[in-house]
Amino acid sequence: MNTKIIYTADSRGYANHGWLKSHHTFSFANYRNNERIHFGVLRVLNDDQVAAGMGFGTHPHDNMEIISIPLSGSLSHKDSMGNGTIINEGEIQVMSAGTGVQHSEFNPDENKESKFLQIWIFPDKLNVKPRYDQLKLNKEDRVNQWDQILSPNPDDKGVWIHQNAWFHMADLDQGKELSYELKDKSNGIFLFVLEGDITLGEDKLHRRDAIGFDGEDTFTIKANEKSQILVMEIPMELPSYLQ
């Protein structure tokens, strides 16, 4: 491995706004860590909990690929492109902010909180036409195997973004080993343990731990207990407009 960084769950930034509790893997809002600005083109990985009936008011984004993965509960989405929809656990949402978009996200349930991952990826080009998509995922497709949920290609399985990136999820039974082969050998890997406990090489990772590395064409993980994994294969080199 050329680069390897372990991000333990308890080392993340944390913000408690009452209605929103958020763990930040990378610098975000009031959390600033100069050692954790991004990993390759992965700019934001927020682990959010939104209180019942609360949410994010209308706010702008531009030139970012924004992915939301609800872990429990749901979110009501509205944006300046005219979309108004609800995303639920078991779905994935993507928004290419491009030239600019405004949106809001609210928890429509008045009785229980909503938990979701908010992920930002630097796009490979600036000022694309804004777009929105969401997709229902089939949980059976990730039982003890990788399920592709995002790619650069609109014709592939999952949603797509303006970047040479692939996301996969897997739900592993205890003792299961699973290997991953990179789609693009020049990419790096950012692996996030949603639930459980895994071993990758010499490293043991627990719930909400993450590891980022590059220089490996393939890798194998072993689930030490029932586990849920998110693997993000991403370019390590920032796009030219950021260099």
Residues comprising the binding site for Fe cation? Answer: 59, 61, 103, 105
Contact 144, 199 (CB under 8 A): no
Q: Answer for the pair 58, 182: CB distance below 8 angstroms, yes or no.
A: no
Measured CA angle at 223 (ends 217, 224), to 5 deg: 135
What is the DSSP secondary structure assignment for residue 143, as one 8-state letter? B
- Note whether 133 and 159 are within 8 A (CB): yes
* CA–CA separation, 81 and 94 (whole Å): 13
Contact 236, 40 (CB under 8 A): yes
Q: Give residue for tokens 């990758």.
A: 200
Grouping H, G, I as helix, E, B as strand and the rest as coil, residue 16 is strand
As a whole number of angstroms, the distance between CA 86 and CA 136 comes to: 11
Phi, psi torsion values for 241, nearest 5 degrees: -70, -10
Cα 159 to Cα 110, 147, 148: the distances in Å are 29, 12, 9
Annotated binding site, which residues? 59, 61, 103, 105
Contact 119, 159 (CB under 8 A): no
Cα atoms found within 13 Å of the Cα of residue 44, Cβ hemisphere only? 19
